[in-house]
Structure 1
Amino acid sequence: MVAVFNKDLLSWYLVTLKLRETLESGIATSPNSATRSIEFPEQSQQQLQKHQQEPLESLQITIKDDCEKLEEETNSPDFEWVISIKEKLEQARQDDVACSWAKLSIYRVPHYLREGDDKAIVPQIVSLGPYHHGRRRLRQMERHKWRSLDHVLKRANHSTKLYIDSMKEIEERARSCYEGPISLSSNEFVEMLILDGCFVLELFRGATQGFKQLGYPRNDPIFAMRGSMHSIQRDMIMLENQLPLFVLDRLLGLQLGDPEQKGLVAKLVLQFFDPLMPTDEPLTNSDRTKLESSLGWKTTFDPLSDQGGLHCLDVFRRSLLRTGSQPTPKVWIKRWSHANRVADKRRQQLIHCVTELRDAGIKFKKRKTDRFWDIKFKNGSLQMPRLLIHDGTKSLFLNLIAFEQCHLDCGNDITSFVIFMDNLINSPSDVGYLHYCGIIEHWLGSDAEVADLFNRLCQEVVFDINDSYLSQLSEDVNRYYNHRWNTWRASLKHNYFSNPWAIVSLIAAVVLLLLTFAQTFYSAYDFYRPQ
C-alpha cells in the first residue's frame, strides 16, 4: 500500500493517471481514424479535433473535481490518523497471513518477570539466536565462534557451502520458532545459525569427549573446563538465548555424516548442563545410567521427536521432571465454578510457612532422592528431597518459569514447586530450619538471601493452585494443620519435652503436684473422720 501525504504530489499523480487513460483510449481508436482521414481528409480532420477537445475538457473537469475532493479530505484533521489506522490494519493482515504461532517455542521473557535486573535473563558473555545478536558487550565472543567453525570444517574436511545450503533449507522453519519479526536478512540469519550452532556443539562435545580430543590446546581461553564455563552454561540455559533443537541436530548430523539423525544433541544437552541441576550433587555414572534406563533410551534418545522446534532449555526441564508419575491436580473449588474460574493472585497460598507448620506439630525430613520436586506427606511428616541453591539457581528457575508461562503445550510443574517453596519460606528462620533438617543446602551469603530469592521469583506470577501437582499434598497438610489436637500436642511437646531439663522439671512438678494433692486429701480425711 502506498501512502502519499503531499497534496501536490497526489494531484500530479491523479493528473498522470487521467492522461494515461486518455492516451490509451486514443491509441485504441487510431486505426479507424487513420482510415477515415484517407477517405475523407477534411471531415476526419474536423472530427479528430472535436474528439480531441472533448476528452481534454472532460479530463479538466474530472481533475478539478478530484482535486477539490482531495483538498477537502486532506484538510480534514483526521486525515493522517485514518491513513495510520489503515496502515496498521494492513500490517495486522500480513501478520495473520504469515502466522506461525503453532511453531513458536523461543520467547522473550515477559516484562513482569524481569524485576528490573536483567542479569538473570539477559546473557552476559555469549549470545545465541537473534534476540541479542550483535550486542556490543557480547561481540568479544564472536571471534571464538569463528574459531570453532574453523575447527569443525578442518576436522570434518567440509566446505562452508555444505552448511550454508543446509541452513537455507530450514531457515523459514527456524525463523518461525522466534517471537516477533526478526530484523536479520536471510544471509545474516543463516550465518548466525551456522556460527552459533557450531559453537554450541563444540562446547557440548568438548565437555563430553574432552576439548583436547577436538584439537583445542589445554590453555584455550574458552574451550577448556575453566571457571568461565559455568558462566557460559548460565547464558546458554536462558530462554532468550536458545537455538531450535532441529538446527543443532542438522549441524551435528552434517559433522557426523548423517544429516537426518536425531536425539544425539538431547543426550549431549543433559550431560553439559548437569552441573546446573538443583540437586545435592551432579549425577554419577551409575545415576546417569539409571536415568537413561528410566527414560527408555540408550543412544537414540529424542524426548522431543514429536515436537519440532524446541530447544535446550526444554530438554533440561524435561530431565528435571524425569521418572515417576506425578499426582494429578485436585480441584478445591466447586466443580460448577471450575469452568469460569480465572487464575487469581489471592489463590496462590498453597501451604503455611515452616514456622507455623512446626507449631502445628508437622515434622520435616529429608528424602534420599535426586528428584527435587518429589515431595511427600505422611503421618504428620513432610518429606522433601535435598535442594542445592547456588548463584545460578535464580536464573535457572526464572527462565524455566518464563518458559512455562509462555509456552501453551508446557506444564507448570516448576512453577508449582517454586510457589510451594515460596509459601514455606517467609523468613530467614524458615531457611535456617530447613538447612538444619538437611533439606536446603546453599552457597549464598546468608539465609536471608535464600528467603529473598524464593519470595521474589514468583512475585508477579499469576498461578492457580488447582492446576498444581502439589494441590492434594497441600490439602492434606492444611487438614492436619487445622486439627486443634495436633496443635495442642505440638505446643505441649515444644514447651515441656523439648530438652531433658524440661522433662525433669515437668516430672518434678507432676510429683510435687501429686504429693500436694495427697497431703490435702489426708488432711481433709482426718478432719471429717478422726481416729
Structure 2
Amino acid sequence: MVAVFNKELLSWYLITLKIKETLQLGVPSAPSSGMLSTEFQEQQNLQQDLQQEPSQSLHITINEGGEYFQEGATSPESEWMISTKEKLEQACEDDEACSWDKLSIYQIPHYLRDSSSDDKAYVPQIVSLGPYHHGKRRLRQMERHKWRSLNHVLKRTNHDIRLYLDSMNEIKERAISCYEGSISLNSNEFVEMLVLDGCFVLELFRGATEGFAPLGYSRNDPVFAMRGLMHSIQRDMIMLENQLPLFVLDHLLGIQLGNPDLKGLVADLALRFFDPLMPTDEPLTKKNRNKVESSEKNETITPTTTTTTTICDPLSDEDGLHCLDVFRRSLLRRGTVRPPSNWTKRWSNAHRVADKRQQQLIHSVSSLREAGIKFKKRKTDRFWDIKFKDGILRIPRLLIHDGTKSLFFNLIAFEQCHLECSNDFTSYVIFMDNLINSPADVGYLHYHGIIEHWLGNDAEVAELFNRLCREVVFDINDSYFCPLSEAVNRYYNHRWSTWCANLRHNYFNNPWAIISSVAAVVLLVFTLAQTFYSIYGYYKPL
C-alpha cells in the first residue's frame, strides 16, 4: 500500500501503473485501444479534479488491487454520518438546556386533545396566561384590560415598572424551565408577559376577596367585577395550558406588599377566587374549612393504598406548582398523599397500565341494583370519599355545572402529564364513569341526591363522564378505589344477594305487587292444605 501526497506525482504514477498492467496482459499499448483510451480519459479527469482543488496536502491511499480512496473527500455515507452526529450534538444541547424535573405546566397531550369533542375544554376563550396562547387574535381584546390592571397596581403602590421587570428578569430562567417545549417569545417579551399576566391575575384574586372598589375599580368595570365575564375568566384561568408558576405570583405579590419573601397568601387567594368551580355544595370559606378540618380529626381517611402517607395541606405552597395544582390539592384536602410512583413500577407487568377495556373498577348502577346493592348519599364535602358497608354504597354529593367538563378534563390532563402527583382524581372520575353507563343511572343517582347537575338533562351528564375517560392512561392497580371495588364486586358475585334482589324487584317493588304476592302465597298454602287433607282422608277415613 502506498501513500501519496503530491497531485502531479499521483497522476503520473497512475498512468504508469495502468500501462504496466496492459503490457503484462499482452494488450497493445497504443492509445488507439478503446479500453485504454477510456482509462486514459479517466486518469485525465482525475488529474483535472485534483488540479481544481486547492494546493493542499491530500492523503490518497492505494490498496494492492489498484483501487484508491481519498481521505477527506465527502461521500454520501460520510454525509449521513456527519448529519447523525450533528443531531446527537443537538440532542445533547437540548438535554443540558432543559430541566425536565422542573416541568409543571404542560401542553395537552394529543391523545387527550383528539378524544375531546370540544376544544373549549382546554383552549382559553377569553384570556391568555403564559406563553402557550400569548398573542392569539381572539384573545387580544383582553390585553388592554391587563395593561389597565398593571397601571392600577403602579398607581396604588407608587412603584416604577422597572422594579417589576428587573425582578422578573432575575427569575425568568426558572420560570422558563416550568414550561414544556419551546417558547416563541424572546427574553424581553417573556419578562413583560410575566409582569403583565401576573399582575392581572393578582388583581382578580385580590378583588374577589377584598372587593374591586377598594382597589380603585369602578363598580361598572367590564372585567374587574364579580359578574359578567368573571365565570368565563375563571374557567380559562384554571386550564393547564393557561398557568403561571406559583412562585412568580408570590414574587409579584411580595413586591406589591413590601414583603419579598411572602409565601402562601397567593394559594389562599386562588382558592377563594376559584371557589365557584368547586364540585361541592359548601363554599370553601375559612369557617367551613376549619369546620371540616376539626371534624376530620376524629375520622380516619384512607383514599390511597400505600403504606407511607403524609397529610395534604392545600393552603401550603411548599410544593404548589400553579393555581391548577393548588385547586387540585384543595379538592383532595385532608386526604393522604402517596409518594410519587416509580416509573419502572408503574410500567411493570405487575402494575400494568390498563387501556379503556381494562379500566372497569366497578359495575354500573343498574347492574349493582340487580345484585341488591343500595345507594345512599354520604354527608361530607369530600366528594371522593366513597364508602361501602353491608350492601350499601354511600357516595358524597357531586355538583355538576357548565364548567365541570373543562375543570375535570384539565385535572385529568395534569395527572396524566405530571408523574410526581398521584392519580387520585382520575381514579374518582373513572369510578364514576363505571357507575354511569346510561341516563337512567344518572337519574337514579340524582333521585337519591348523589348527583346534582345544572345541565340540560341526564343524558348530558352520562355523556360527560363517558367522554372524560376516553384514551386515559390509567393503572387500575394504583387506584385508591381498589379495596372498595373488590368489596363491592365480592358482594355483587354472591348468588344469594342476587336472588334476594330479584325477588324484591319482581315481586315487592310496589304495594300492589306485595299484596298480590301475599295473596298468591296464601292461596298456594290453602291449595296445598286442601290437597294434603284430601289425600289423608282417602288413606285414613274417619
TM-score bin, normalised by smaller chain: 0.7 to 0.9
Taking only the aligned residue pairs, the percentage that are identical comes to 72
The whole-number CA distance in structure 1 between the counterparts of 2:248 and 2:279 is: 28
Compute the displacement of 1:294 (Å): 8.2
Which deviates the most, 280-289 or 357-366?
A: 280-289
Say if 1:470 and 1:138 are closer, same or farther in 2 by CA, change over 3 A.
Answer: same
Cα contact 1:206–1:223 (8 A) shared by 2: yes
Task: Select which of 36, 57, 60 maps to 1:62.
Answer: 57
Compute the displacement of 1:175 (Å): 0.5
The letter of the residue matching 1:265 is V
The letter of the residue matching 1:258 is N
* Structure with greater helix percent: 1
RMSD between aligned residues: 2.7
SS in 1 for 2:55: helix
Task: Select which of 493, 497, 511 maps to 1:486.
Answer: 497
User: What's 2:317 paired with?
Assistant: 304
User: What's 2:210 paired with?
Assistant: 209
Task: Select which of 380, 383, 405 maps to 2:394.
Answer: 383
SS in 1 for 2:399: strand
Compute the displacement of 1:301 (Å): 8.1
Cα contact 2:58–2:71 (8 A) shared by 1: no
TM-score normalized with structure 2 length: 0.80
Compute the displacement of 1:498 (Å): 1.0
1:42-61, aligned counterparts within 5 Å?
60-61=55-56
The whole-number CA distance in structure 2 between the counterparts of 1:196 and 1:367 is: 41
SS in 2 for 1:383: strand
The whole-number CA distance in structure 2 between the counterparts of 1:203 and 1:357 is: 46
The whole-number CA distance in structure 2 between the counterparts of 1:326 and 1:447 is: 33
TM-score normalized with structure 1 length: 0.82
Cα contact 1:384–1:439 (8 A) shared by 2: yes
SS in 1 for 2:57: helix
The letter of the residue matching 1:248 is L
The whole-number CA distance in structure 2 between the counterparts of 1:108 and 1:129 is: 12
The whole-number CA distance in structure 2 between the counterparts of 1:141 and 1:83 is: 49
Matched, 1:371 2:382: yes
The whole-number CA distance in structure 2 between the counterparts of 1:91 and 1:61 is: 32
The letter of the residue matching 1:352 is H
Render the CA deviation track for 1:376-413: whole Å, top value 9, x for unaligned: 00100000011011111111111111111111210100
Render the CA deviation track for 1:107-163: whole Å, top value 9, x for unaligned: 111111112532101111100001111111111110000000000000000000110
Which deviates the most, 80-89 or 427-436?
A: 80-89
SS in 1 for 2:291: helix
The whole-number CA distance in structure 2 between the counterparts of 1:70 and 1:459 is: 57
Render the CA deviation track for 1:432-483: whole Å, top value 9, x for unaligned: 1111111011111111111111111111012121101110000000000000
The letter of the residue matching 1:433 is Y
Task: Select which of 400, 412, 421 maps to 1:410.
Answer: 421
The letter of the residue matching 1:304 is D
Say if 1:338 and 1:477 are closer, same or farther in 2 by CA, change over 3 A.
Answer: farther
The whole-number CA distance in structure 1 between the counterparts of 2:336 and 2:176 is: 35
Say if 1:150 and 1:294 are closer, same or farther in 2 by CA, change over 3 A.
Answer: farther
SS in 2 for 1:73: coil
SS in 2 for 1:62: coil
Cα contact 1:262–1:302 (8 A) shared by 2: no
SS in 2 for 1:60: coil
Compute the displacement of 1:320 (Å): 0.3
Cα contact 2:271–2:327 (8 A) shared by 1: yes
Matched, 1:360 2:359: no
Task: Select which of 437, 441, 445 maps to 1:430.
Answer: 441
For structure 2, the 5+ residue unaligned runs are 1-50, 62-68, 298-312, 340-344
User: What's 1:109 paired with?
Assistant: 108
Task: Select which of 518, 521, 528 maps to 2:539.
Answer: 528
Compute the displacement of 1:226 (Å): 1.0
Render the CA deviation track for 1:334-374: whole Å, top value 9, x for unaligned: x9x97644212143110000000000000000011111101
User: What's 1:344 paired with?
Assistant: 354
Cα contact 2:272–2:284 (8 A) shared by 1: no
The letter of the residue matching 1:272 is F
The whole-number CA distance in structure 2 between the counterparts of 1:57 and 1:399 is: 65
User: What's 2:188 paired with?
Assistant: 187
Cα contact 2:240–2:414 (8 A) shared by 1: yes
The whole-number CA distance in structure 2 between the counterparts of 1:496 and 1:196 is: 64
Cα contact 1:207–1:225 (8 A) shared by 2: yes
User: What's 1:462 paired with?
Assistant: 473
Cα contact 2:361–2:434 (8 A) shared by 1: yes
User: What's 1:5 paired with?
Assistant: none
The whole-number CA distance in structure 2 between the counterparts of 1:224 and 1:453 is: 31
The whole-number CA distance in structure 1 between the counterparts of 2:237 and 2:455 is: 22
User: What's 1:513 paired with?
Assistant: 524
Say if 1:473 and 1:79 are closer, same or farther in 2 by CA, change over 3 A.
Answer: same
Task: Select which of 379, 394, 402 maps to 2:405.
Answer: 394
User: What's 1:235 paired with?
Assistant: 236
User: What's 2:32 paired with?
Assistant: none
Compute the displacement of 1:177 (Å): 0.5
Cα contact 1:129–1:192 (8 A) shared by 2: yes
Compute the displacement of 1:184 (Å): 1.2
Say if 1:276 and 1:88 are closer, same or farther in 2 by CA, change over 3 A.
Answer: same
The letter of the residue matching 1:232 is I
User: What's 2:3 paired with?
Assistant: none
Cα contact 2:338–2:422 (8 A) shared by 1: no
- Say how many residue pairs are matched: 461
Compute the displacement of 1:293 (Å): 6.5
User: What's 1:49 paired with?
Assistant: none
The letter of the residue matching 2:108 is V
